[in-house]
Amino acid sequence: MSLVVGIDVGTQSVKLVAYDPAVRRVLATHGKAIDLIADDAGSREQHPAWWLDAIRTCFAMLDPALRARVAGIGVSGQQHGFVPLDATGKVLAPAKLWCDTSTQAECGEIMHAAGGAQRCIALAGNPILAGYTASKLPWTRKHRPDAYARLASILLPHDYVNFWLTGERWMEYGDASGTGWLDVRTRQWSVPLLAATDAHRDLSACLPPLVDPAASFPLAPAIADELGLPRNVRVSAGGGDNMMAAIGTGNVAAGVLSMSLGTSGTLFAHSMHPVVDDAGSWAAFCSSSGGWLPLICTMNCTVATEAVAKAFGFGTRDGDAVMAGTAPGAGGLVMLPFFNGERTPELPHARASLFGMDPGNFDRANVYRAAMEGATYALRNGYDLLQAAGMRFDAIRLTGGGSHSAAWRQMVADVFALPVEVPVQAEGAALGAALQALWALQEAVAPGADLAAIAREHVQLDDALSASPDARSVAAYQPGYRQFLRHLDDARTSHAEHPPTGG
């Protein structure tokens, strides 16, 4: 029986899952860590060749008998990254990533040229935020002029992997809406925002065509042979990691709230109409399933817990045991976990801070808990924005590396006062990419295939990992959350009074 493969190209690693739809089971999971190029100016980059090498490694680890059964591949990729190609398809420079905050000045320049943040929202549904693809273009023009002069194609990370797999270039609406240039209401490029990014050239000529989310393309024969795959494999449109995680957690119908505890933290929901906030409080993205995906993104989630664990000399796998004797509130410690700056709220130059230290509470257990609580409070702050807009949810679908922690699952249930459900497959983005590939295969045979039905059938929940809010803990977290919000307000005020200068 045929298999579908999902590939997730993340910031820290590339993951591959091989899924058998007939038995509704993941038959194999493989991963390969990748490096990150970082500097004190906020730059975060990777060489796209690293992604391809990691994919090769993952397929090499996949049993040849399973490789021979593959019929479809779907690719999930970290959003917003900028892969510049020349006219021959050669990569011109390292890819600047979603967590790169070195282009903040360019965000302001684009929005000023477009008529301000409110005008950007009117044109496309979103302001131009640090991390979005748009600001990476003028940064490259200033700092890598030779590469910019030779620029012929603008691709996102998952687009580049698709290009390598198929030899064809395209974008789909979900990931494309994270560039800052796509009008999410009409699903068309905003000509004024492209012009605001570069008034001296037609950037639309560098953008590949937009395709429907159920589209698919043939795997290039040479790549099929290299990876040991059948030559009739189809590659689906793919999408950004958040869009694929939505599919992988069954978030393709209204009423479901998904939360990803990864390097970044995200909250996202499904809508059949654009959900745009006039103040730009959340990302008004399209989904990769034919709808829209209002999304809250924080720049720091497992980054915070990993940084604390490393500093105190233990691994995050031991984190639950380390903090086992602590209580909600971390003994009075409160952390703003802004190790990579912050996006919600927009504080790209913020830095992590720890408050409330005294001789009795400053130990590794409380500091680790404060990091976990701070990352969770940051997401709760975003959830409050969605609630204020009238959105209501009955439960949270949890995915990402942090969902492996029983303590974190319970913390989310208590801080949000909502039951937590965990899909059997914790790597929701990779599974979502595999399910999109299954949808594309069905669509090719019988147009009108129902992705929601596929998600209901194949996204299974692990009852043993569910968590329900505990009334006492729900109350116990409230003082810490209020203190977090006070420190957050202070950070906002400081940023407004002393804005960063320079590029």
Q: For the residues of 267-314, what is the DSSP string, one character each?
A: EEE-BSS----TT--SEEEE-SSSSEEEEEEES-SHHHHHHHHHHTT-
E strand or H helix at 335, and its extent? strand 334-336
Cα–Cα distance for residue pair 427/374, rounded to 1 Å: 23
Tell me if domain 3-246+436-458 and domain 250-427+462-497 are identical in fold.
yes
Report the alpha-carbon distance of residue 411 to residue 305 in Å, rounded: 14
Q: Name the strands in the sheet holding 37-38, side by side, starting at the edge strand that comes first in the sequence.
A: 37-38, 44-46, 95-96
- Given this model, what pLDDT does residue 353 score? 97
Class of domain 3-246+436-458: alpha beta
Residues ≥6 apart with Cβ < 8 Å to 294: 268, 269, 271, 275, 282, 283, 284, 285, 386, 391
What string of pLDDT tens digits covers the 503 residues of the chain?
A: 799 999 999 999 999 999 999 999 999 999 999 999 999 889 999 999 999 999 999 999 999 999 999 999 999 999 999 999 999 999 999 999 998 989 999 999 999 999 999 999 999 999 998 889 999 999 999 999 999 999 999 999 999 999 999 999 999 999 999 999 999 999 999 999 999 999 999 999 999 999 999 999 999 999 999 999 999 999 999 999 999 999 999 999 887 899 989 888 999 999 889 989 998 889 999 999 999 999 998 989 999 999 999 999 999 999 999 999 999 999 999 999 999 888 888 888 899 999 999 999 999 999 999 999 999 999 999 999 988 888 889 899 998 889 999 999 999 999 999 999 999 987 889 999 999 999 999 999 999 999 999 999 999 999 999 999 999 999 999 999 999 999 999 999 887 766 655 44
pLDDT score of 145:
98
**Strand pairing partners for 232?**
none
| DSSP secondary structure string for all residues of 177-194 | GGGS-EETTTTEE-HHHH
Among 274, 262, 226, 205, smallest CA distance to 427 is for: 262
Catalytic hit among 100, 183, 198, 241 = 241
- DSSP line for 142-157: HH-HHHHHT--EEE-H
pLDDT of residue 503: 40
Does 241 qualify as catalytic in the annotation? yes
| CATH architecture label of 250-427+462-497 | 2-Layer Sandwich (3.30)
Domains of the chain, residue spans? 3-246+436-458, 250-427+462-497
- Pairing between strand 25-33 and 334-336? unpaired
The three-state secondary structure class of 26 is: strand
> Alpha carbon 32 to chain centroid distance?
18
User: What's the sign of the alpha-carbon dihedral 492, 494, 498, 502?
Assistant: negative
Those residues with Cβ within 8 angstroms of residue 134's Cβ, 6 or more apart along the chain or in another chain: 107, 110, 128, 179, 180, 181, 193, 197
Alpha carbon separation from 176 to 87, 199, 320, 406 (Å, rounded): 21, 21, 38, 35
**Residue 201 tokens, joined:** 């050239």
Reading the block at residue 274, the tokens are: 């654009």
On the 0-12 / 13-18 / 19+ scale of CB atoms within 10 A, 358 is exposed
10 Å CB burial of residue 362 (0-12, 13-18, 19+) is middle
Strand boundaries in 198-242, DSSP class E = 210-211, 216-218, 234-236, 239-240
Cis-peptide into 64, omega within 30 deg: no
Structure tokens at 222: 């040479």
Angle CA(73)–CA(76)–CA(78) in degrees, nearest 5?
A: 155
Burial 89-103 (b: 16+ CB within 10 A, else e): eebbbbbbbbbbbbb
Which of helix, strand or coil describes residue 12?
coil
User: Is there a contact between 191 and 420 (Cβ–Cβ < 8 Å)?
Assistant: no
Tell me the β-bridge partners of 354: 335
Q: What whole-number distance in Å separates Cα of residue 414 and Cα of residue 94?
A: 41
Q: What is the dihedral of CA 298, 456, 436, 400, to 10 degrees?
A: 30
**Distances 245 to 94, 249, 251, 262, 481 between C-alpha atoms, Å:** 26, 6, 8, 11, 27
Within 10 Å of residue 270's Cβ, how many Cβ atoms? 24
Contact status, residue 237 vs residue 172, Cβ threshold 8 Å:
yes
Q: Can you give the length of the chain in residues?
A: 503
Query: DSSP string covering 48-108, please?
Result: HHHHHHHHHHHHHHS-HHHHTTEEEEEEEE-TT-BEEE-TTS-B-SPEE-TT--TTHHHHH
Cβ contact 319:313 at 8 Å: no
